[in-house]
Chains A and B, each alone.
Chain A
Amino acid sequence: MASSSTPQRRRLTLTSAEKVAADDNLLKQIFIRLPPKPLFSFKTVSERWFNLISDPYVVGDWIPPNSPSSFYFRRYSSPFSPDIEFNHISVNGIVNSSVPVSLNLFDEPDGVKILQSCNGLLLISSSWPSADSVHTRYYVLNATTKKYSMIPRPNNGDNRNFLVSMNLAFDPAISLHYKVVAFRSRKWNSPNFRIAIYYSETQTWVFSEKSFTLSENIVVDNGVFLNGKIHWPRCYSKESTCYDVNRDEFLPLPMPSCLKKVPVFFGECGGHLRLIECYKRCGRRFDVLELENDYSEWVVKYRVDLQMGVSAFPEMIRPCPGRFPTYGVDVLCFLGSEVGGDLCLMLYIPFKVICYNFKDRSFRKVCDLKLLPADVGNIQFCRFLAIYPCMETIFDV
């Protein structure tokens, strides 16, 4: 192989690797399996590689990852400041080394916040004021390529100018175009709304004539998009709801029947809805529940025993004089997948992010992370607004 770098003496026989690379079709088969960053950097290998990687076939057949590899974690930039920043964390530690990222790609004086993460794309809004106003701007961002599109506000002149909820619906297995689902009401916090759907393919809003009213204790923020439906959890109730984007209707979503626990995790994992519920804080053991495909019931998928991590991380335990110790562990999110054999649960313990690997049931430190008390409060009380699992994709917005 070393002689191959001597350009003057051109060999007549190719190596096995060179033979493979001489075949456009085989190269494409390899390209569609590469993660976005190497794929884009290999555009500079040669003009032929540049053209092949730019080929629409490669984008159309590119195999997206089947599970999130990192997550964005929302936090305050300093005590007493409303400014929001994000930590970007993978199983290997903090991505991009530096301190929190403020996603400052956008020309927004007060910064932006993530509203939802959906199969590699992020739904973003300007962060001030915190509730929607006519000045709030919305974006869809591909955090891998840093490309984004601004989504115009839906307006058809019916005075439903307040956006109760904005949701991203994107499933590259179905279409490379995404939809944004807006819940429009006449006034702030109104449970009565109509829906409009933005189609990225045509860049237009389509307005539904149906009117919906939802129970006030369902928080329709940061929904989980799966199987063409957007799902929201509900605390202390046997039933929540999901919205079928294609049929424009709300359907019941059962919640696990224990009314005393609250969901500390609610999200998609391996093509299923998963949920972890606890009494306020996690006890020694907790279950990972999975919703059956027919939405009939939640079944126990895994049981996690925190005691197994105590020897490595004694700070997990908070001694309580005269009572059983409690566990100072907060659930963040799942990364990896069963198929890849690297499924793990990301957890926060004081000043550290750790991960629990389901395959070998081990606990491992991911990174140090010193959170402000307000950040910890965010994980505990509005955790659905704090953590956004993300996967890398090449898809255009």
Chain B
Amino acid sequence: MSSSLEKNMLILRSSDGEEFIVPEVVAVMSKAIKNMVEDECASNTIPVPNVDANILAMVIEFCKKHDESEAEAASDLKTFDSEFVNRGQEALYDLITAANFRDVKELLDALCQNVAEMIKGKSVHHIRIQFLGYQLFEILTSNFIWNIWCDRDFD
């Protein structure tokens, strides 16, 4: 496959083995990949562990759009961003992990902004269940919560 690869193209391989051919300029929007390319420790195929094909495809879509749209109006890009990040909970948080792991700053910023918009109206209890559900019991029985309870009304 790499023999037929055009110049300035890279192959990204997801954790579940799917391969994506992307222009180098798009791939290096991930700082992690950029460092690998610059250090020349990357062969034509770059493994992207921890990121499955589904999520990797989304990240590539985002980077392609941002690469193409330098000439486009900033407001168009903003519209694209807000539509792009507006997706199901699982995908949203998986994308954050991927963007953080691959160091794609613009994507991470847009995603974190979206999470902030989503949670700003939520109750503290809802937040605990959503983000700390696995340790809910420990939190609710902690001295910290006991102190808050004693100090003032518990919401």
Chain A residues with CB under 8 Å of chain B are 1, 4-5, 7-8, 10-11, 14-21, 23, 25-26, 29-30, 33-35, 38, 41-42, 44-47, 50, 339, 341
Contacts and interface: CB of A to CB of B under 8 A. Distances in A.
Interface centre among B122, B134, B144, B148 (most CB of A within 10 A): B134
Contacts of B36: none
Nearest to B90: A16
B133 A38 contact: no
B140 to A, nearest CB: 8
B136 A34 contact: no
B3 interface: no
Interface in B97-128: 97, 100, 108-109, 112-113, 115-116, 119-122, 124, 127-128
B129 A5 contact: yes
Contact of B116 (A4, A21, A30, A45): A30
B142 interface: yes
Interface of B: 75, 78, 89-94, 96-97, 100, 108-109, 112-113, 115-116, 119-122, 124, 127-140, 142, 144-145, 148, 155
A30 B119 CA distance: 10
Contacts of B120: 34-35, 38
A19 B130 CA distance: 11
Main secondary structure of the interface of A (DSSP, over half): helix
Contacts of B75: 339, 341
Contacts of A29: 108-109, 112
Contact of B113 (A7, A26, A33): A33
A114 to B, nearest CB: 27
Contacts of A38: 119-122
B134 A14 contact: yes
A40 B52 CA distance: 36
Closest 7 CB pairs of A and B: A7-B137, A4-B133, A16-B93, A21-B131, A33-B116, A47-B144, A29-B112
B100 A46 contact: no
Nearest to A46: B139
A35 B121 CA distance: 10
Contacts of B97: 16, 19-20, 26
Given A20-B97, A41-B155, A15 B133 contact: yes
Contacts of B129: 1, 4-5
Given A17-B89, A21-B131, A30-B119, 10 more contacts: A4-B129, A8-B137, A15-B90, A18-B133, A19-B93, A30-B115, A33-B116, A38-B120, A41-B155, A45-B128
A10 B134 CA distance: 6
A22 B68 CA distance: 34
A353 to B, nearest CB: 24
Given A38-B121, A46-B142, A25 B128 contact: no
20 contacts: A4-B133, A5-B136, A8-B137, A16-B92, A17-B89, A17-B130, A18-B133, A18-B134, A20-B97, A20-B131, A23-B100, A30-B112, A30-B116, A33-B113, A34-B116, A38-B120, A38-B122, A41-B155, A44-B145, A339-B78
A48 to B, nearest CB: 9
Contacts of A16: 89-94, 97
